[in-house]
Structure 1
């Protein structure tokens, strides 16, 4: 899965390389949308190129270039200084981007933590401008995520954040992520700690031999949870990434709504949102190959029925496969399975749901439900 999917037909320019290629090949930027590209060193090109009808979203440029493109009739939304995030970003996040400054200043100094602090402050102020910026940011992230996943077979892995490193459950979730990634699927999770991190870790480990995951799990057990120190929890994850730098790709889709839950560093592509509802709906909607539900609490139960609702109303016989893992958890502790069965009875989704006892059964269950 590339860091950025080409999409030349839709008039969007999101990297300096795309900008240069478009100017060279077409000789015009008329009608294009240039998104979060630093154009301070492209003044000559901007002055010499037609930009009528173009839109520049958060693109830094010199004053004379900005005056010229405005005179052409382009719309210019300038960068907004002082924000810990770019509302016009053209690509999803990377772990290195969100955790920048972790080693120097601890988690509190990272863009991830600073964005959460900004969110909490502006949400309390009920600032309409800030709420608009959050909406623009989340729409930009959704656009970038859609471009990233073009043609991908995505399997969602859901589960609770409480699952600790060093446990059998965490190891099992990691092995599941590795198996799914090795089968050619793109693993997508809620992007947080616990079961979500484990699945992303497994996908990261997929290109390496099996012993790598064993050693990585041992290293991670030094900081089992993200409390009391997110700095220590994230730091040991980056130790793993440094030791094995060529990990496999996967997607994490977390939210600043739950600011106490940091994103995990093993998702190579992170689509982080301010709006949790947008994030949850988007994660499930993009899991086009199936969704696996590991044991969890309220959030995971909500995700089960968020996914069941469109499946219930699916009239073409193509519901998304759903696999719930751990019979005792979903029939006794949180008896979600009986209700899901009742909803599915007599509908096309009935043939697309399964309950399994062990994580090892998941790949076969997904294959069976897809056929």
Structure 2
């Protein structure tokens, strides 16, 4: 103990007992400083930012933010389609009509938030006065969320984003698309097939585009016993917007 101007000053060396949160340390186990001091004063290596324990916390934070943003969304349908669909094209206008029709049926619209068919569905939903959700993903060539999104999030991790597409939607509507669209489609098919989700309608829009895939599923995959005959019932195909909306929303409330 030191004395200065009559006031006692204690140093770490004088301490024989120390509480660190719920932990008690005595005698030789006393450590210098406090937890706050070590947090605020330390300027150590930043390698921990790139280690798995920190990634787990970032993954957790994405789930928390996603759940918080979408928990009160209400009935919704996830719409998928190609980011390469050209504005003004027939497929783009189809997406706009689908977004509008879903809102008129009382549903919010969830997309990947990008351009092309996703933008079209968000545009239809937004212009119809509905809730237009965009769930983006961090990619090297990502263009950001389209202007018609009114609730948006960007994710680092595909699997967190996929969870949001399924958890907060009552069904999937799938327009012509590429690898990302196929990924979401088969993720949903697998979840329904394995009964990880119940009552989850999946509607493919655009018979000409999907015909080759559907034939392969029926005649090759199912035909060779790699899937069950009943798996043909996991999805439906249509070209009609009104029928697509009826199929994807029927019995989902």
Q: TM-score, normalised by structure 2?
A: 0.70
Q: Do residues 357 (structure 1) and 235 (structure 2) align? A: no
Match of 2:148 among 242, 246, 266: 266
- Tell me by how many angstroms 1:306 deviates: 0.7
Residue pairs, 1:179-328, within 5 angstroms: 179-207=101-129, 248-279=130-161, 281-314=162-195, 318-328=198-208
Distance in 2 (CA, whole Å) between partners of 1:255 and 1:150 is 20
Asked if 1 retains the 8 angstrom alpha-carbon contact of 2:78 and 2:171, the reply is yes
8 Å Cα contact 1:327-1:355 kept in structure 2: yes
The corresponding residue for 2:230 is 346
Partner of 1:173: 95
Residue aligned with 2:177, SS:
coil
Give the structure 1 partner of residue 62 of structure 2.
Answer: 141
Question: Against the structure 1 CA distance between its residues 261 and 136, is the aligned structure 2 distance closer, same or farther, given a 3 Å change threshold?
Answer: farther
Change (3 A) 1:272 1:353: same
**Kindly tell me: are residues 134 and 257 of structure 1, through their superposed partners in 2, closer, same or farther at Cα, counting changes over 3 Å?**
farther
Pick the structure with more helix per residue: 1
Unpaired runs of at least 5, structure 2: 1-20, 23-34, 41-46
- Residues 337 and 154 of structure 1: CA distance in aligned 2, closer, same or farther (over 3 Å): farther
Q: Which has the larger radius of gyration?
A: 2
Cα distance, 1:199–1:131 mapped onto 2, change above 3 Å: farther
Residue deviations 1:104-163, cap 9 Å, x none?
xxxxxxxxxxxxxxxxxxxxxxx6514666654443232122123325212100111001
Residue deviations 1:147-187, cap 9 Å, x none? 23325212100111001112121112012111112222121
Of Structure 1 and Structure 2, the greater strand share is in 2
Cα distance 1:145–1:260, how it changes in 2: closer, same or farther (>3 A)?
closer
- What's the C-alpha RMSD, in Å, of the aligned pairs? 3.4
| TM-score, with length taken from structure 1 | 0.49
1:366 aligns with 2:244: no
Structure scoring higher RCO (CA < 8 A, sep ≥ 6) equals: 2
Gaps of 5+ in 1: 1-51, 54-68, 78-126, 208-247
The question of whether the paired residues in 2 share the 8 Å contact of 1:190 and 1:283 is answered with: no
1:86 alignment counterpart: none
Q: Is the 8 Å Cα contact of residues 353 and 369 (structure 1) preserved in structure 2?
A: no
**8 Å CA contact retained: 1:134, 1:274:** no
Deviation at 1:262, TM superposition (A): 2.4
Partners of 1:138 and 1:273 within 8 A in 2: no
Aligned to 1:129: 49
Show the counterpart of 2:31. Answer: none
3-state SS of 2:137 partner: coil
Matched-pair contact (CA < 8 Å) for 2:201–2:247: no
Q: Deviations over 1:266-295 (max 9, x none)?
A: 11111211122332x224322431000000
**Cα 1:353–1:287 shift into 2, 3 Å:** farther
